[in-house]
Structure 1
Amino acid sequence: MNHQHVPAHVVPAAACAPTATDPDATDRFFNSVLSAVPRVGQATSVLVAHLLPSQPTFLKSLRRVSTLAAVIPKPNSVQKSVRRPLEKLTRCDELSRSDLSRPDALVEYLELRAAGQPVVLLDVGGYFAPGLAAACTGFSGQVLGVVEDTENGLRRYEEFDKLACAVYSVARSPLKEAEDRLVGESIVFSTEALLRSVGEVLTGRPACVIGYGKLGSSIADALHARRTPVNVVERDPVRLIHALSVGHRATRRLHDVLPEAELVSCATGSRCLTTTDMQHLRDGAYVASVTSADDELELTGLAEAFTGEPVAPHIMRYRHRGGSFHLLNEGNAVNFLHGSALGPSIHLVQAEMLLALTQLADVPHPPGLCELSAELRHHIADAWVNAFHPASHPRSAVSIRELS
């Protein structure tokens, strides 16, 4: 195989493909992580979550360190086989970010589910950001803090000049890097599967990746490894240099590359394509997203500017006077169509969320952004390696208080 056109740090797809998680190893991992947790006051938790096969063991562990009041499923990533047994254990509330957008909406919801209780909010995408200040002052219980999993969600909290409580960020943790690499791989896998469903191939198709953060870079590398030429669009000059340094073509100007791209991957989390931009897409291009449609795409004017028609399951063709483009999975994250299987790497982030919850429940935190210490992350990583890749001489467990 000729490697000269593949960036040096890119691992071939087969080498980084996720494997099935061993349930016994998963239990050993969470048991090891939680065995070191100090005895803390029992907090109540409310969780926003993707209901995918990786969740049940995490939820079991979450219930060991908190009273789980309710789960708010992310609407575009719910598997019935996961949801049905979950509904026997706790409430599943159909709420969107827009449902919680009124300042008093979160207060009303917490009064319904956890009146008078100390609460930790486990967030994926900034659901609780609009109402957080009101909840910290108007809720009959106490909001101990928030744990946010995603970059776009963290940005929603960072928009406030002053946070009303502590917000633990998991989004930029080094433990999340393994997950990010596999998310990029799963995005490309699902994109290729959808193209093949209509008789198209991915290899050799000129691609544009908008955004070269952790997910965008992993998508670009996965495409490059499949011998797909990649143009990166990135406004940040440091990230632009990173893209160029590994062999991608890169520019700051979106409209320089849109007319050439037959595949566009949106990976910014902050509205990277407007309705006007879509009219500059190459005729017949395919558009895929890494997150929710309302985060990446301006779809409000789509019906007025384009005529839509389904061409295959999860593929819509939108026509306008100058041509057409195909939108995959209604603009939502394409990898959720195939379960977004990431193997055991997903448990690293879940464990960090658990320990962040125990930190909030253990001692009062001042308002502001927080992260777990390097020592606590090392503890999680050590437990993960011993569970999924047993070492010759695994370290003995230590207490969280010793590491703090």
Structure 2
Amino acid sequence: MVPNSVVFVPDGLDKLMHVSAVLAKPKSVGRPEYQEIAGKYPTPELSREWAANPAAVVAELKNLGLSRKSVILVDIGGYFAPSLNEIAELFDGKILGVMEGTENGVQKYEANLSFSRPVITVARSPLKLPEDHLVASSVVFSIEAVLRGQAEILQIRTAAVIGYGRVGRSVAGILRSRGINTVVHDSDPIKLAEAAARGFQANIRLDQAIGHASLVVCATGNKSLDLRGFGMLQSGCVVASVTSADDEFDLGCLSRGYDRTEIDKDFIRYEENRGSGRHFFLIADGNAANFIHGAVIGPAIQLIEGEKLYAIKKLIEGEVPIAKKQIAELDEKYRREVAEIWIEHFL
């Protein structure tokens, strides 16, 4: 639930197809945008456990009055990747397919690639590059704002960026441009080689990357830090994420070894409970740092929202093939059309 949701859902999605429900990411249900959306559409509770349970999902579809109807699942984070085939089999209507909007979601669907229904994504589109860079900019902005609220400046810290994907790459570049010594870690050797070629200190091992960093920004979408990883942090380190806490961290493990103190609603202290005094701080309690300030990135968001609408239209028209080797994407000619419309409207 971000400011753009209150425009995109009713004025975009609902004009293309009937929106039967909006399932908000759990950590965003307290936002004002959620209240506005909930006043217009049903908002069933979303969790990964529920989404992975085909019977529970089908029961909700029927509860929404969708029996014997055609349905598209618009996913943000790979929620239905474990259960899509079973949902399609149990449902008495027709699942036309899934449109996935995020890279970490695509990775979850790619882990299977034996789906009985089409899956299409916009996550790797060139039209998403401006959004990725602006998200990274807003993440760094929010980290700095939180630190200033604690009477600190960003430049006194050394940084490690975990995950050198499209957002992580931009975060690393922005931090370096601000004069902050920044190292990079990624499990993918291709991405790590690119980071090194761009002049970053690139570490193969996670402990090498974060062991001396006083600011760690995680951008993997795939549980970058667990109990062992949190144990590698130096005392006083500040940790931030570019995505949801349930995707980026194993926070449940912290209850076994750390005491939690809320210094500020967006600045949480975790201290080892064995008397060592060692501690670290988690910005926004592990959720996307830029959500602190509304996750607003301006008109560039409409580029990728336009491509999402086109991708959904292709699902409606039955023009998306079932994935065999990779998740489907729009052809360049459709992306050009979206870009041309955006230029005409915004420029």
Same fold flag (TM > 0.5)? yes
**CA-CA distance at 1:85 after TM superposition:** 3.4
Q: 3-state DSSP class of the match of 1:348? A: helix
Give the letter for the 2:23 counterpart: I
Q: Displacement, 1:225? A: 1.6
| Equivalent residue for 2:258, pick from 295, 299, 306 | 306
Match of 1:53 in 2: 3
Aligned to 2:195, which of 220, 226, 243?
243
Q: Does 1:323 find its partner at 2:250?
A: no
Q: What corresponds to 2:104 in structure 1?
A: 152
Task: Provide the C-alpha distance between the structure 1 equivalents of 2:175 and 2:336, rounded to a whole number of angstroms.
Answer: 32
**TM-score, normalised with respect to structure 1:** 0.81
Task: Decide whether the 8 Å contact of 2:142 with 2:290 is kept in 1.
Answer: yes
Structure 2 counterpart of 1:376, which letter?
Y
Using the TM superposition, name which of 318-327 and 260-269 deviates more: 318-327
Determine if the alignment matches structure 1 residue 90 to structure 2 residue 41: yes
Equivalent residue in structure 2 for 1:106, among 49, 57, 64: 57
SS in structure 2 at match of 1:239: helix
Match of 1:297 in 2: 249
2:346 is aligned with what amino acid?
F
Query: C-alpha offsets along residues 194-236 of structure 1, whole Å, 9 cap, x if unaligned?
Result: 1111111101410000010101101101111211110101222
- CA shift, 1:271, in A, is 1.1
What TM-score, normalized by structure 2, do the two folds share? 0.93
| 1:223 has 2:175 as partner | yes
The answer to whether the Cα contact below 8 Å between 1:144 and 1:364 also exists between their aligned partners in 2 is no
| Aligned residue among 336, 344, 347 for 2:302 | 347
Partner of 2:76: 124
Matched-pair contact (CA < 8 Å) for 2:120–2:320? no
In the other structure, the counterpart of 1:29 is none
The residue identity in structure 2 corresponding to 1:72 is L
Contact kept in structure 2, 1:107 and 1:131, CA below 8 Å: no
Aligned-pair CA distance for 1:131: 2.2
Alpha carbons 1:259, 1:281 under 8 Å: kept: yes
Residue identity over aligned pairs, in percent, reads: 39
238-247 or 198-207: which moved more? 238-247
Cα deviation code 1:162-189 (max 9, x no counterpart): 0120000111111111100001111111
Question: Partner residue of 2:153?
Answer: 201
2:301 match: secondary structure: helix
Root-mean-square deviation (Å): 1.5
Q: Are the counterparts in 2 of residues 106 and 131 from structure 1 also a CA contact under 8 Å? A: no
The structure carrying a bigger helix percent of its residues is: 2
Q: How far does residue 245 in structure 1 lie from its aligned partner after superposition?
A: 2.3
Q: Does 1:63 align with 2:14?
A: yes
> Deviations 1:62-121 (Å, cap 9, x if unpaired)?
111101100011122346442333233221222222222223222212222211111111
Q: Helix, strand or coil for the counterpart of 2:216?
A: strand
Residues 79 and 179 of structure 1: is their aligned pair in 2 closer, same or farther, counting only changes over 3 Å?
farther
Distance 2:158 2:214 in 1: 5
How far apart are residue 145 of structure 1 and its match? 0.6
Q: Secondary structure at the match of 2:27?
A: strand
Name which structure has the greater RCO, CA cutoff 8 Å, separation 6+.
Answer: 1
Question: Which residue is equivalent to 1:376?
Answer: 334
Kindly indicate whether the alpha-carbon contact (under 8 Å) linking 2:119 and 2:320 is maintained by their aligned counterparts in 1.
no
Provide closer, same or farther for how the CA distance between residues 301 and 69 of structure 1 changes in structure 2, counting only shifts above 3 A. Answer: same
Q: Tell me the CA shift for residue 237 of structure 1.
A: 2.1
Tell me how far 1:53 sits from its aligned partner. Answer: 1.4
Q: Is the Cα contact below 8 Å between 2:3 and 2:295 reproduced in 1?
A: no
1:175 is aligned to 2:119: no
In structure 2, how many angstroms separate the alpha carbons of the residues matched to 1:168 and 1:109? Answer: 23
Structure 1 segments (4+ residues) deviating >4 Å: none
Unaligned runs of 5+ in 2: none
| SS of match in other structure, 1:307 | strand
In 1, the alpha carbon distance for the partners of 2:180 and 2:56 equals 46
How far apart are 1:247 and its partner, in Å?
Answer: 2.1
The 2-side partners of 1:253 and 1:158 are apart by 25
SS of the aligned residue for 2:28 comes to strand
Q: How many residues align?
A: 339
3-state DSSP of counterpart to 1:203: helix
Residue segments in structure 1 that go unaligned for 5+ positions in a row: 1-50, 390-404
Normalized per residue, the structure richer in strand is: 1
> What code does the residue aligned with 1:351 have?
G
Secondary structure of the corresponding residue to residue 70 of structure 1: coil
Q: Distance in 2 between matches of 1:322 and 1:82?
A: 39
Give the match for residue 290 of structure 2: 335
Q: Among 232, 235, 251, which residue is 2:184 paired with?
A: 232
